[in-house]
Structure 1
Amino acid sequence: MKKYISNVISPKVSIAPMVDVTDRHFRYFLRILTKRPLLYTEMISCQGIINGNKNKLLDFNKVEKPLSLQIAGSTPEEIYEAVKIADNWDYDELNLNAGCPSDRVSGNFMGATLMAYPKLVKEMVDAMRSATKKPITIKHRIGIDGKNILPPSFHRTLLDSYQDMYDFISIVENSEIDRFIIHARIAILDGLSPKKNREIPPLRYEDVYRLKKEFPYLNMEINGGIKTLEEINHHLKFVNSVMIGRAAYNNSFMLREIDSLYNKDYINNISRKDVIEEFIPYIENLESLGENSFYAIKHIIGLFEGKPGSKRWKQILGTPASKNIKASALLKIALRELPKEVLYNL
């Protein structure tokens, strides 16, 4: 079979899809800090798109682009219908979730469970391809431990070797995937929370590097435990692109450095004060619309991570709505009370 070589240019950096994190408020906040990386929606199920409030689920602010929609599904038929609907929105790409380890997702035959069924994944991607002309990508793990999730009749329940991952890629690549995003840990599908699945299974970056060597014509992106610009630069020596996960939330100010990867002469001089001042009108607009602005400001908790004033920042943002003070007013209090050397300096 002829090898598929995508003409879609991989982003050097992307910010991972994270449930209860990468909503439209967080994505708007990220765009204040960095303009170039690809952003992702939270994972949205096919059934949610088909049967739910489509505008609420799929609408976004154009400043968030480039933006990928991550979809979770379990059959070619439902994912075709969901992608056909989503194609009416101006997403830059569609991403299939084949890596989420949560019981709720895997137990419903979605997410990382799909890695046990590469032929089905290929059929699902084929269905996505027939429903849109946009790029199609897939996010998955390097393997799975599905002892208590996969059916008893399944011939193997532990698929955690390099050869297992190689076989998965070998089958799925025939659906003309534009990029494989690979979380360099296995997913343990029963008895381990999503948080622990990000911490306990060991990282195996070398397996991803090796995979790229064996499939040099495929776009491959690495994910898992990457926290600094130095680490990003190191990984880019071996793969096409890098995905940042929780570090984007826990230490968000580090993202101001990312655009320099696209233009080495670019210097981002934005300060924390600038970020807060630019976010305030966004929060005020939410308040004018009667939306929950306190929910929106919780996403910027990592702006002062590791800096003097971090504790006070968290106290201010943690002020309950019952105190009868607006979220926008809390941000203005922070501008008055936090140390000036941290507010103004990088």
Structure 2
Amino acid sequence: MSQAVHRSSDFSPWRFSIAPMMDWTDRHCRAFHRVLSKRARLYTEMVTTGAVIHGPRERLLGFSDAEHPVAVQLGGSEPAELAEAARIAEGFGYDEINLNVGCPSDRVQDGRFGACLMREPARVGACVAAMKAAVRVPVTVKCRIGVDDQDPEQALDALAGAVVAAGVDGLIVHARKAWLQGLSPKENRDVPPLDYDRVVRLKRARPGLPIAVNGGIATVAQAKVHLRDLDGAMIGRAAYGDPAGLIAVDPELFGAAPPVADAFAAVEAYGAYVAEALARGERLHAMTRHMLGLFNGRPGARAFRRHLSTAGTRGDADLATLRAAVAMVSRAAPERDAA
């Protein structure tokens, strides 16, 4: 990566965050991730403006105070609807409103939002302006470097220019193009090549704009490399597949003590949340599905996953079921290639 550039703040609110991921980052997942890091910024799954305005708001937007700092990600393209949805979300207590300009799924394209909005920077700017006028919390945008045959230099500059003019508080850039035709959403997370330098060039051109990078970041050590040039790093699937790595976030990136000593302590800490949720009638699997990768690299990790994926899905599964799964894991030092 090129020579380091001036960053807006050594401790930007977006210094380290966990990406919004559909079907993954629900409130149970966020509660679990908060056990592992007190400082990481958490994001909801994307929720559409129509669902926020007309749907079951508590189910869609409800969260625990323990999740702070936490942001809601909205999907939409109509300024007035986004403003209304942002007002509603702010009323729930979110710390940030984020606009999705990066999702490439067919369903999102059919609704004229997500990554296809990279082609309409003026519309994105109007959406940001409407949300900024509606709420007091920060409004951010998560985008790609371009879509399809767009030139990433021109596309990202145009998008950034429009949202900066609208008063955006920060930009999170997934450092890949999205191919709206020919690649599935899953392929769009891996196939288009990463171009981190393009994001750094944007930061150099706009030093006053907080910019975080997303895409292909798998470890806290990799995040630290990006923080030499940018204000923030956002981790996605790695936070889900290897959540124990998040225990290093607070000491390595914020100079704070880790909230738990190790993965075993994380289970005990999360257990209080699990017990409360079970008492409300939630099923154990709804919570433990987010922690299947917690012991990756330790002998017994496969048995842990198997037990939670079988016994843990039963209607009578409880905290004892979780503890029985943990008892199958060796407390010896992890070997990263273990099953």
TM-score, scaled relative to structure 1: 0.89
Choose which of 105, 110, 113 in structure 2 pairs with 1:110.
113
- Which moved further from structure 2: 331-340 or 267-276? 267-276
Q: CA RMSD in A?
A: 1.9
User: Does 2:84 match 1:93?
Assistant: no
Deviation of 1:322 (Å): 6.7
Cross-structure match for 2:225: 234
Query: For residue 33 of structure 2, what is the aligned residue in structure 1?
Result: 30
Tell me if the contact between 1:50 and 1:82 (Cα under 8 Å) persists in the aligned partners.
Answer: yes
Name the amino acid aligned to 1:273: F
Paired residue for 1:121? 124
CA shift for structure 1 position 122? 0.5
Work out whether residues 146 and 176 of structure 2, in 8 Å CA contact, stay in contact via their aligned partners in 1.
yes
Moved over 6 A (4+): none
Task: List gaps (5 residues or longer) in structure 1.
Answer: 146-157
Q: Which moved more, 1:233-242 or 1:322-331?
A: 322-331
Q: Contact 1:112–1:141 at 8 Å: present in 2 too?
A: yes
Alignment equivalent of 1:221, drawn from 209, 212, 215:
212
Match of 2:263 among 263, 266, 272: 272
Deviation at residue 265 of structure 1 after TM alignment: 6.2
Q: Pick one of 86, 90, 98 that aligns with 1:83.
A: 86
Q: Is 1:201 the counterpart of 2:192 in the alignment?
A: yes
Residue 44 of structure 1 aligns to a residue whose secondary structure is strand
1:210 equivalent in structure 2: 201
Name which of 48, 53, 76 aligns with 2:51: 48
Amino acid in the other structure paired with 2:324 = I
Is residue 221–residue 243 contact of structure 1 (8 Å, CA) maintained in 2?
yes
Question: In 2, Cα distance between the equivalents of 1:13 and 1:250?
Answer: 17
| Letter in structure 1 aligned against 2:98 | N
What is the distance in 1 between the residues matched to 2:32 and 2:169?
28
Deviation at 1:31, TM superposition (A): 1.0
Measure, in 2, the Cα distance between the counterparts of 1:295 and 1:42.
Answer: 15
Please say if residues 20 and 42 of structure 1, whose CA atoms lie closer than 8 Å, have aligned partners that are also in contact. yes
Deviations 1:202-232 (A, max 9, x none): 0000111111111111110000010112211
* 8 A contact 1:26–1:296 mirrored in 2: yes
Equivalent-residue separation in structure 2 for 1:120 and 1:51 (angstroms) = 23
Q: Deviations over 1:237-293 (max 9, x none)?
A: 111110000010000000000002444363565122211112223222222221222
Alignment of 1:56-71 (within 5 A): 56-71=59-74
CA displacement at 1:164 relative to structure 2? 2.0
Map of 2:5 onto structure 1? none
The letter for the 2-side match of 1:115 is: M
Unaligned runs of 5+ in 2: 1-7, 335-339
Aligned residues: 326
| Partner in structure 2 of residue 18 of structure 1 | 21
Distance in 2 separating the partners of 1:238 and 1:323: 48
TM-score scaled by length of structure 2 = 0.91
The residue number in structure 1 matching 2:137 is 134
Q: Aligned in 2, Cα 1:61/1:324: closer, same or farther, shift over 3 Å?
A: closer
Would you say the 8 A contact 1:259–1:266 is kept in 2? yes
SS at 2:310's partner residue? Answer: coil
**Is the contact between residue 293 and residue 327 of structure 1 (CA under 8 Å) also seen in structure 2?**
yes
- Percent of residue pairs identical: 39
